[in-house]
Amino acid sequence: MSEESVNVESRTSSQDKRWTIMAALLGTNTAFMLFQGMEQESNPTFIREIALAIIAATIPFQGIYFLIYTFLLEHNGKLSQERMDRLHFASAICQIVSYASLVGVGMMWYNISLYVGVSFVLSTILAIILIRSVMGPVDQDE
């Protein structure tokens, strides 16, 4: 593979990192839907049903995110600023809805065990606080 065929900058962009996070969410959600869906058939519970419904509702948004991401890569530099803004807005909405799947995952952990569920929720809150406190706009002085 030649040096010209690999765009190193695009592979390490923040957008690419978001793509990786979304792929991980999609994989996790698909696994939960498969295995917990089978468990729901044999041993139905209301909380699992709600959790699966939340996760199922987020999966199409994860797919749309990948479509938008690919479209932006394919048409880089060819789209008007207005269209780029609309696509980035749609992408952000898809990300927010996709992250809501963590509510379903948390409910699923809670359904498995109160301690596991509480631990997951508390660690998620702490992780969000941590990442929000250290990530922000980068100043040139740093």
Give the pTM. Answer: 0.74
The pLDDT, as a whole number, for residue 110 is 86
Give the rounded distance of the alpha carbon of 112 from its chain centre: 23
- What pLDDT score does 8 carry? 47
Q: Give me the pLDDT at residue 52, please.
A: 94
Q: What is the DSSP string of 45-99?
A: -HHHHHHHHHHHHHHHHHHHHHHHHHHHHHTTTTS-HHHHHHHHHHHHHHHHHHH
pLDDT of residue 137: 58
What confidence score (pLDDT) does residue 138 get?
58
Pairwise CA distance, residues 99 & 96, whole Å: 5
Task: Enumerate residue ranges in the chain where pLDDT < 70.
Answer: 1-15, 135-142
65-105 pLDDT tens trace:
999 988 988 888 888 889 889 998 999 899 889 888 888 88
